[in-house]
Amino acid sequence: MSEQSTEHTTEQAAGRTTGQVTGPATGRTTGRTATADDGSAAHDSRRQVLYWRLLARLFDHEEQATLESASLAVVEDIGLPPALLDPATSVDSIVQRHPELAGEFDGLMVPEPEEDGARDHAAEVRRAALVSKVLLNVFASGSGTVTAAQLSRWQSDAGWLERALGCKPGDLRGGRGTGAGAAGPGVSPTGSGGRGTTPDLSRLIPVIGPELGSIEADLVKRMHLREVLADPQLASRLTPSMSLIEQLLRDKNNLSGVALANAKALIRRFVDEVAEVLRTQVEKATVGALDRSVPPKRVFRNLDLDRTIWKNLTNWSPEEERLYVDRLYYRHTARKTTPQRLIVVVDQSGSMVDSMVNCTILASIFAGLPKVDVHLIAYDTQALDLTPWVHDPFETLLRTNLGGGTDGTVAMALTQPKVAEPRNTVVVWISDFYEWRTEQLFESMSALHRSGVKFIPVGSVTSSGRGSVNPWFRERFKDLGTPVISGHIRKLVHELKTFLA
């Protein structure tokens, strides 16, 4: 935008702010009092000034003085703090100084129903100022070296953006937690708007989530992570996230002493937080079908009172108003003792880090269930059997090496001997399936499926669901009757619980 056109636009907005109507071309006042329609036009001009400033800040590093002064006048006139226009001030700081704004940021960008087509133009201006603050703090991430404090502030601001979209902090970035209904008011678990038709959040959220993760990953790369980890005070400011964990796992072999200890502490914190969320999704799983060949144990806690009454109704005495019981019935509680075997095969190439973290933690949770025998294999061009550490996802992740090529045949060579009873075995294969020996690997997978093994190919299991899967494999898995799972990890949890129940 040119300086001349900027001044012209803001002069018109300034004239309307004071209650006078400006001419469309001259910017001069007409000398008459604004009508109701003129008031709406004034609010629309204010809103446009705020959004023009937002666009200028995002796409032009040089500050537009006219836009800044006009935006300041708008913000002060509607009773909002001028700190909203300061890019160096976090949303947290504003909310701490003005607690009444916290409720306005929550669900700020979730669509609301319009009553009879009426619009609250004044509210739209206020909303524009708050939306601009959140978007500018998140998407204008700058350039150059990033400090631990700056990363922490960005993560906090990104959390406020997620809250503005009706989600919980961390949901869109594929981080810590997403239980059922975590999307919050107005947004369904799939991300669709529940209180209006526009904007279409079902399209917005799947796109914005990966972009937030990409910005965060860039900030982590621009930070001198080793120096930060070596300073306990700076390291304490870091908030564990998927992007940070990926960088730590890549760099762990180059760390030592205090830096390595701080890195391990961050990984442990992240693992524990994700595990807590996944555990709630798994804890209701019952493993093993009832074994009716085993007589029920005749103790009071197993007494089937309803069945006992029903079976003895013929012994009811109307005269005495009593039910005589000839036989007691008990519930079967014994379950089949054949253990179910769960084999998790993870592609540890860099593109699969989020799925690898989630599935490694998920494997450890299922390993804690009775009658489930869990095995874990990680591979790139070589395969590593991580089964001895499957109960501890932290130790498992420390033994992985991100990056490199992928050759699934080496992992298959470790997987096949573990299949003792195909009908009681499920193989979860997590990869983007860009393999060196595609046909040979797929034939081995098909053979497992035909033998009776429950084979579950997984492309990506994150909150955002972002991930690319080799279309050659995707089509063949679909024809095989085992379509690739991609999306939220709840899908994989559901599949596993269905098989193990």
pLDDT in tens, 471-501: 899 899 999 998 888 766 667 777 776 766 5
Pairing type for strands 425-430 and 340-347 reads parallel
| Start-to-end CA span in the chain (Å) | 62
Q: Lowest-pLDDT range, 201-205, 250-254, 325-329, 455-459? A: 201-205
269: which residues sit within 8 A by CB, 6+ positions away? 240
Residue 351: count other Cβ atoms within 10 Å of its Cβ. Answer: 17
What's the one-letter identity of residue 305?
Answer: L
**Please, which pLDDT band fits residue 448 given cuts at 50, 70 and 90?**
very high
Poorest-confidence range of 159-163, 256-260, 458-462?
458-462
d(CA 467, CA 355): 9
State the pLDDT at residue 14: 45
Q: What is the pTM of this model?
A: 0.54
pLDDT digits (tens, 9 = 90+) for 121-137: 888 888 899 998 988 88
> pLDDT by residue (tens digit) across 35-57?
455 568 888 888 888 988 888 88
E strands within 273-389? 316-317, 322-323, 340-347, 372-379, 383-385
Looking at residue 21, its pLDDT comes to 36
The whole-angstrom separation of Cα 493 and Cα 366 is 10
The residue that leads in pLDDT, 466 or 15, is: 466
Give pLDDT tens digits for 405-435: 788 899 999 999 999 889 889 898 988 888 8
pLDDT at residue 443 is higher than 90: yes
Helix (H) / strand (E) containing 461 = strand 454-461
pLDDT for residue 217: 77
pLDDT at 295: 76
3-state helix, strand, coil in the chain (%, to 5): 55, 10, 35
- CB 45, CB 12: distance < 8 Å: yes
Residue 446 has pLDDT above 90, yes or no: yes
On the question of pLDDT at 105 being above 80, the answer is yes
Read off the pLDDT of residues 360-405 as tens digits, 9 standing for 90 and up.
887 887 777 767 788 999 888 888 898 998 888 888 888 877 666 7
Q: Contact, 474 vs 484, CB < 8 A?
A: yes
Banded model confidence at residue 68, pLDDT cuts 50, 70, 90? confident
Query: Which pLDDT belongs to residue 220?
Result: 77
For residue 444, pLDDT over 90 is answered with: yes
Q: Over 80: is that where the pLDDT of 308 sits?
A: yes
Return d(Cα 29, Cα 12) in angstroms, integer.
Answer: 9
Furthest CA-CA distance within the chain: 103
Of the pLDDT bands very low, low, confident and very high (cuts 50, 70, 90), residue 461 is low
Q: Which residues contact 375 (CB under 8 A, 6 or more apart)?
A: 341, 342, 343, 344, 385, 387, 390, 418
Query: Within 13 Å of residue 199, how many CA atoms lie on the same side as its CB?
Result: 9
Q: 52-56, 185-189, 232-236: which has the highest mean pLDDT?
A: 52-56
**What is the average pLDDT across 170-177?**
60
φ/ψ of 224, rounded to 5, equals -75, 80
Cα angle 277-283-285, degrees, rounded to a multiple of 5: 130
Q: Which tokens go with 291?
A: 């074994």
d(CA 122, CA 124): 5
Tokens 């395969």 appear where? 383
Mean pLDDT (the chain) is 76
Burial of 210 (0-12, 13-18, 19+ CB in 10 A): middle
